[in-house]
Amino acid sequence: MTAPFNIVVLAAGRGTRMVSDLPKVLHPLAGKSLLAHVLDSARQLDPLQICVVYGYGGDAVPNAIADTTIAWALQAEQLGTGHALMQALPHLADSGVTLILYGDVPLTQLETLRELSALAAQDSLALLTIELADPTGYGRIVRDTHGAVSSIVEHKDADAGLREIREINTGLMALPTHLLAGWLNRLSNDNAQREYYLTDIIGMAVADGVPVRTCSPRHEWEILGVNSKLQLAELERRYQLNTAQHLLVQGVTLYDPARIDVRGSLTCGREVVIDVNCVFEGSVVLADGVQIGANCVLRDVRVGAGTQIAAFSHIVEAELGADNHIGPFARIRPGSVLAAQVHVGNFVEVKNSQVDVGSKINHLSYVGDSTVGKRVNVGAGTITCNYDGANKHRTVIEDDVFIGSDTQLVAPVTVGKGATIGAGSTITKDAPAGELTLSRSKQLTINGWQRPVKKPKV
């Protein structure tokens, strides 16, 4: 069993190189802030207390997270990582181990954090270190002749010899909580950056005879932080590739794992096929045999088994039944619930409507605030006029209705079971069941009428 522990997330920095007014840790990666990624990992470690040290951006950071179980420690001035941890101390349970995470390092894997936490104890501390081909900018891990860690020296304070060291401090560490106050109170800012370095406590621990252990992550990307939009974009790609590989392992067919974006959770059944450039946001569930064409966007959608969504469809907060044919170029908006075997074709918009089994809306239509029964055929160019400028009204189309092309249904209106509406009608009153209803000016022919001709130019 691991010792009960605290997690402190350092997140006070401004991130000048982001060239943005948004505090760095609130920038989104895969649709979720960097800090939210770190906190999600932190929660999964089940600590006694999570404390976030915030500063730049003020209340914007706690407000964006809105989690009442988190303790927020304000670091009004960013005087260094040691100073940051000092602000968190009053919030920490005194026993066990405190794990330090960075709010701008989003992709550290749980197994790495577990290994690091387990390596520290009441009387020892643990550092996450890694060897980098280019260690420029990082604190260097200095070891004695026996290979034991003796100190960390920041890049800016290191001489040419120390800068040769390629083993670096990732910044993630696990520390015995009851020893922290004693060490932090002894920190000075007598260094190249005039900062209170958290890393200086390593030398103190060694002097106090507290063992310093190290472990390393499996992948270099686990310890990469975000300081610029370039690094943010690189980690976004890494995250998406990880997600794509996960889907492939589960048996999902991705025509190109480099061209899928999941910003939330994507749950797939068996035999699911996804073409290129699709974006999945929020919570998306695809049942067995679903096929998604290229360039589709789905947000908070459930899709029933065997349904095919053709290219360029945009579907938000909707529920699609089994064996639907959707798109290409379909737009399905919030509140739409489609039963089985529904067809929604090209340039059709469906909003806040229920469409029952076997109904077809195949071309160029708008169906909003409507209840559509079974086996209904909605002709091309049909529009539900659901909005009178002030209020929305419902259209009810009962089972087995046939609506001719280019019809306007002016809501509130009901088309009774089995009714037929003639093409080009404007329906303002309820249409009775089983009858043909149409509203259309009579066609007439002017016999012998002559089309005007252009006068010849002089």
Minimum separation from the CB atom of position 53 to ligand UD1 (A): 5
Residue 242: φ, ψ to 5°: -60, -45
The encoded tokens of residue 124 equal: 């020892």
Minimum separation from the CB atom of position 195 to ligand UD1 (A): 6
Provide long-range contacts, Cβ within 8 A and 24+ apart, for 306-314.
311/275
| CB-CB contact of 48 with 93 (8 Å) | yes
Could you confirm whether 363 is annotated as catalytic? yes
Instruction: Decide whether 152 or 252 has the Cβ nearer to ligand UD1.
Output: 152
Instruction: Decide whether 173 or 296 has the Cβ nearer to ligand UD1.
Output: 173
Instruction: Decide whether 184 or 344 has the Cβ nearer to ligand UD1.
Output: 184
Instruction: Decide whether 80 or 404 has the Cβ nearer to ligand UD1.
Output: 80
Minimum separation from the CB atom of position 177 to ligand UD1 (A): 18
Please name the residue ranges forming H helices in 96-176: 110-119, 160-163
Chain position whose Cβ is nearest to ligand UD1: 139
Q: Which residues bind ligand UD1 (CB under 6 A)?
A: 10-13, 53, 75, 78-81, 83-84, 102-104, 138-139, 152, 154, 168-171, 197-199, 225
Minimum separation from the CB atom of position 13 to ligand UD1 (A): 3
Question: What is the C-alpha to C-alpha distance for residues 401 and 433, in angstroms, rounded to an integer?
Answer: 9
Minimum separation from the CB atom of position 150 to ligand UD1 (A): 15
Q: Which of 178, 219, 325, 363 is catalytic?
A: 363
Instruction: Decide whether 151 or 382 has the Cβ nearer to ligand UD1.
Output: 151
Please name the residue ranges forming H helices in 120-207: 160-163, 177-185, 200-207
Task: Report which residue type is found at 198.
Answer: L
| CB-CB contact of 394 with 369 (8 Å) | yes
| CB-CB contact of 32 with 263 (8 Å) | yes
Instruction: Decide whether 103 or 416 has the Cβ nearer to ligand UD1.
Output: 103
Minimum separation from the CB atom of position 185 to ligand UD1 (A): 17
Tokens 């074709």 appear where? 345
Query: Helix or strand or coil: residue 431?
Result: strand
Minimum separation from the CB atom of position 11 to ligand UD1 (A): 5
The encoded tokens of residue 317 equal: 């907060």
Nearest Cα neighbor of 198 from 223, 221, 175, 230 is 175
Instruction: Decide whether 194 or 246 has the Cβ nearer to ligand UD1.
Output: 194
Question: What is the C-alpha to C-alpha distance for residues 173 and 10, in angstroms, rounded to an integer?
Answer: 12
Minimum separation from the CB atom of position 102 to ligand UD1 (A): 4
133 secondary structure, DSSP code: S
Question: What is the C-alpha to C-alpha distance for residues 334 and 299, in angstroms, rounded to an integer?
Answer: 10
Instruction: Decide whether 34 or 403 has the Cβ nearer to ligand UD1.
Output: 34
Instruction: Decide whether 58 or 251 has the Cβ nearer to ligand UD1.
Output: 58
Question: What is the C-alpha to C-alpha distance for residues 337 and 317, in angstroms, rounded to an integer?
Answer: 9
3-state per-residue secondary structure call for 6-37: EEEEEECCCCHHHCCCCCHHHCEECCEEHHHH
Provide long-range contacts, Cβ within 8 A and 24+ apart, for 150-154.
150/203, 150/206, 151/202, 151/203, 151/206, 152/127, 152/197, 152/199, 152/200, 152/202, 152/203, 153/199, 154/191, 154/192, 154/193, 154/197, 154/199
Minimum separation from the CB atom of position 78 to ligand UD1 (A): 3
Q: Indicate if the alpha-carbon torsion angle 239, 245, 248, 254 is positive or negative.
A: positive
Terminal Cα-to-Cα distance of the chain (whole angstroms): 103
Which of the residues are catalytic? 363
